[in-house]
Amino acid sequence: MRKLKNKFLIVFSVLLLLACYPGFVFGASAQQTEVYLGGMPAGFTLGLGGAQVVGICEVLTEDGTACPAKDAGLNLGEIIISFNGIKIGSAEDIDSVLSTFNGRKVELVVRQGSEKQKKEIIPAKDAVSGKYKLGVLIRDSVSGIGTVTYIEKGSLRFGSLGHPVAGEDGKLMDVNQGKIFRASIVNVVRGERGKAGELKGLFLNDKSIAVADKNCESGIYGNFNTDIDTKEFQSIPVSFDAQAGKASIYTTIDGIKPVEYSVSIIKVDKSHKQNKNFVLKITDKRLLEESGGIVQGMSGSPIVQNGKLIGAVTHVFLNDPTRGYGIGIENMLGN
């Protein structure tokens, strides 16, 4: 079985106005009145809870070519979660099971969205390696750069993005024990009218600093490790009383340190239940010169007004990257 290995860093999808988000971010309890301010970049690796089929290919056997996956009716996007009753959590698990395969028909359990289905497959023996293969290209996780919004005091519960992470089918991904790493922004692709820009970054090391356990309409949530040094974070009160007018966002477009940039909140819509509570415009000349406005990877950048955290950046307008949407902090807390 061949594995699909990503050789480059994936930046999570930006949904622009009409389906485009800009990047990633972190949550606390609804009673929390003060949190640690985010704005720093983070590398996200989100497990899929199995091995996802992202390609179907043929296997060269001694009797010619065969395609077990096609014969079994496997489809792109399906996640293999069980192989002959053995739980599958990664590509390595499939390798391990196939190494003991004796040539018989086996049963796979696959998941597509919330639906599960059983399928029978007969792995084919590769003529060159002598190993049995399913004839699929798979992945067991997705990776990207996002922005931390806040970290809850005490519990160290975090909230990020302000919007969900979706798969190729547009549906909410069922993330499984995702890991968060320190990251550094190394380049910025400027946003232009009709074309989204993006932050490009690198994971700084292979030691995770937090675990993600929830992907919902208002972002990615989880918990920081208890050994994190909270002295490096700024404490800030939260407020549900956002008003049209001057505000700031904290985001990182170079290195690891967040910088404050001026914005203007043009409209407040508290009735929106998900992630479009504000319309905001970037007014800071430094940020406009560097990025052109809001770009992929800025999602979750905290919005501060009158010294209080009121929300996070979520969307960018495709026809005007200087403008975008934001989510109210009340819709992120408690996740």
List residues with catalytic annotation.
163, 284, 299
- Residue 93 and residue 72 in contact, taking contact as beta carbons nearer than 8 Å: no
Which residue reads 């700024």 in tokens?
A: 234
Closest CA to 323 of 196, 181, 140: 196
Cα-trace Rg, the chain = 22
Work out the burial of residue 298: count CB atoms within 10 Å of its CB; fewer than 13 is exposed, 13-18 middle, 19 or more buried.
buried
Cα dihedral value 144, 203, 262, 264, nearest 10: 10
Could you tell me whether strands 34-37 and 308-317 are parallel, antiparallel, or unpaired per DSSP bridges? unpaired
Q: Is 125 helix (H, G, I), strand (E, B) or coil?
A: strand
What is the DSSP secondary-structure string of 305-332?
ETTEEEEEEEEEETTEEEEEEEEEGGGT
Of 143, 73, 147, the closest CA to residue 112 belongs to: 73
What tokens were used for 239?
């407020």
Amino acid sitting at position 82: S
Residue type (1 letter), 53? V
Furthest CA-CA distance within the chain: 73
Dihedral angle of Cα 225, 227, 230, 232, to the nearest 10 degrees: -100
